[in-house]
Amino acid sequence: MTLEQIRNNPRLQLVLGLLSGIVFGFLLQKGGVTDYDVIIGQLLLTDFTVVKVMLSAVLVGMIGIYALKGAGVVSLHCRGGSVGATVIGGLVFGAGFALLGYCPGTAAGAIGTGAVDALVGGIGIVIGAALFARAYPYLDRMVLNRGAFPAETIPGLLAVRPGIVVVLVAIMITGILWGLAVFGL
């Protein structure tokens, strides 16, 4: 079976989605980030587990994805953003993140570990998504396209080769992780 046939097989994709979710949920729980106290500890800057998990994922993921892209077997899927969509939406998300103490993925994981408040939060996320769908035509006209970003990617913004940015971001992430370890955070 070629990659093309796997990607275009709807039934197989359902199985792959389920399997990816099982691995993702397993890793989130083992990493400690399905725990409310760990996530709130991150937002209070007293527990850096969330940052360690995310930056490790980005470091390993970035190097692999750019290597696979270089080999011509994967393509990037970046979308543009804007102040009206990305910044405002991001801040609304952040406020909810602090109130719920889980994000959509970790809320699903927390439900699996027995957190009933995460289930209530999950219902809230569905309601919030429904409210957005309802408000979308208005927001699309008035807010979402305000202040569009000048580029889709950081290499595009800086007009440099992606490989250079990959190396710089890898050094930056390693430095942050090293700094957290040195300061015992």
Contacts (CB under 8 A) with another protein, residues 58-117? 58-62, 64-65, 68, 73-82, 85-101, 103-117
List the one residue from 72, 145, 146, 166 that touches another protein (CB under 8 A).
166
Helix 49-70 to helix 36-43 angle (10° resolution) is 90
Q: How far is the CB of 4 from another protein (least distance, A)?
A: 9
Count of chain residues binding another protein (CB under 8 A): 126
31 closest CA partner among 17, 45, 16, 42? 42
| Alpha carbon distance 181, 174 (integer Å) | 11
Beta bridge partners of 82: 148
Q: How far is CA 143 from the centre of its chain?
A: 23
Residue 182 lies near another protein (rule: CB under 8 A): no
> Which C-beta is closer to another protein: that of 77 or that of 182?
77
Q: Lay out the site mask for another protein across 130-159 (x = CB under 8 A, - = otherwise).
A: xxxxx-xx-xx---x----x-xxxxxxx--
